[in-house]
Amino acid sequence: MFELFKDLGAWLVDGDQWAGQDGIGHRLTEHLQYSLLATLVAAVIALPIGLLIGHTGRGAFVAINLASFGRALPTVGLVVLVFLASGLSMWPVYVALVALAVPAIVTNTYAGMSAVDPEVRDAARGQGMRGHQVLFQVELPLALPLVMTGLRLALIQVVATATIAAYVSFGGLGRYVFDGLAQRDLVQVLGGAVLVALVAVVLDLALSGLQRALFRHRPAKSA
Amino acid sequence: MSVDWSWIADHTDDLTTLTVNHLQAALSAVFFGLLISLPLAVLAHRVRPLRGLLLGLSNILFTIPSIAVFVLLLPVSGLTRTTTVTGLTIYTLVVLLRNTVEGLDSVPQKTKEAAKAMGTKPLRALLTVELPLALPVIMAGVRIATVMSISLVSVATYIGDGGLGQLFTDGFQRDFPTPVIAGVVLTLLLALVADALLVAVQYVLTPWNRRRREA
């Protein structure tokens, strides 16, 4: 076991391992590219849905069940299915990652919107604000912390799952995991896994730090 | 992409076996997850400094990609069911631990004091007062963990297990969509049914909530 960790340490700090097309540097960039693009697309789809459900109060049932559906959807199956339908392209990876991220963003956005004090909403309306003004000037700013939590959770999940891109012969840090599996090279598998976990943890810490800095003036609970 | 119904008709036995196999892995993981997280949650609830440590640790475990978790367990338990269940159990921990701690936190202080004043011993108070009152929040965690595990079992197909996930590798290798579609649909159905059953279990286990709603 100790020997394995020593090899792993050597693998991670080896300069050759970091350079070139198969290098960690390049794989890391690919991994981040898949993750960020997928989360961005998911946000573009999910944010309007979450805001609309929260604002109108209609379709809450959809938002809650979507989360459950998203959790139940087997990512591996989805990737293979889209792969068989579309052939060798980036579609399987992005469809699966976006499908994973959308429910997390919708439910958290909706949760943030529904946590807005109804009296605040009434006061805004009573002042003569129009629907879209209430949404963008009152509800959204108040819901923002939870909206950001949704985006953060989605990104972390996507980073962990983007490993799957390598299964359908693309890059990213999953390359080490799947190549290592095929070559029975445990050190390489471990290295890939540790790197993905590190990226996820670092992103999570950085984003929650950013969140805290941004909303420092807010009381923790909307009491 | 069309479904080859004759393949499904010819393979109903295999599909049934894989579904049972799949469910067994997922449920074992939730069972062991509860077994581990209940005492840890009580500890985290009582001992404040441990709380952040345990919850933070389980959060980090959660960010490790599931395929990596399975592979990392290979040197320990090899290509076995144990590896699958252990990996899934690790994933259920974060949800179960968080919800159980939150559930215990949600028990009103006055109720706990009342139990103490009536001479209820700490362990008895935990089992007969605190845990039952925390049950709705704990059950919410159990539902999430169960649905998540059912979905994640298929990842273990890379280490030769994976229940319905085997249909995904099979379809991928043969360029044949039918088993993949069958696998996805059965996984979703399994998750749906399990979730509905857990709602029913919670209904039976918390009669006091029921009475309050009717009143």
Contact B102, B171 (CB under 8 A): no
Interface test with A, best of B2, B64, B169, B186 (most A CBs within 10 A): B64
Name residues whose C-beta falls within 8 Å of residue B138's C-beta, 6 or more positions apart in sequence.
Answer: B96, B99, B100, B103, B131
Chain B closest CA to A140's CA: distance in Å? Answer: 27
Predicted complex ipTM exceeds 0.85: no
Give the span between the Cα atoms of A71 and A65, in whole angstroms: 10
Residues of B in contact with A164 (CB under 8 A): 67
Judged by DSSP in three states, B119 sits in coil
The boundaries of the domain holding residue A156 are 2-214
Question: Is A223 a member of any domain?
Answer: no
Chain A residues whose C-beta is within 8 A of a chain B C-beta are 1, 4, 68-69, 71-78, 80-81, 83-85, 156, 159-161, 163-164, 174, 177, 180-181, 186, 189-190, 192-193, 196-197, 200-201, 204
Average pLDDT, consecutive stretches of 10 residues, N- to C-terminus, chain A (223 residues): 81 81 89 95 94 86 80 89 86 91 90 88 90 89 89 90 87 90 86 88 86 72 40
Question: Is A13 a member of any domain?
Answer: yes
Interchain contact, B184 vs A84, CB within 8 Å: no
Question: CATH number for the domain including A156?
Answer: 1.10.3720.10
The boundaries of the domain holding residue B109 are 5-204
Q: Which residue of A has its CA nearest to B155?
A: A76
pLDDT of residue A1: 67
Task: Please give the tally of structural domains in chain B.
Answer: 1
Contact B104, B41 (CB under 8 A): yes
pLDDT in tens, B79-119: 889 999 999 999 899 889 989 998 999 899 999 999 999 99
Question: CATH number for the domain including B45?
Answer: 1.10.3720.10
Question: Is B211 a member of any domain?
Answer: no
Task: Please give the tally of structural domains in chain A.
Answer: 1
pLDDT of residue B5: 92
> HEC string of B94-133?
HHHHHHHHHHHHCCCHHHHHHHHHCCCCHHHHHHHHHHHH
Least CB–CB distance from A76: residue in B1, B155, B191: B155
Interchain contact, B72 vs A204, CB within 8 Å: no
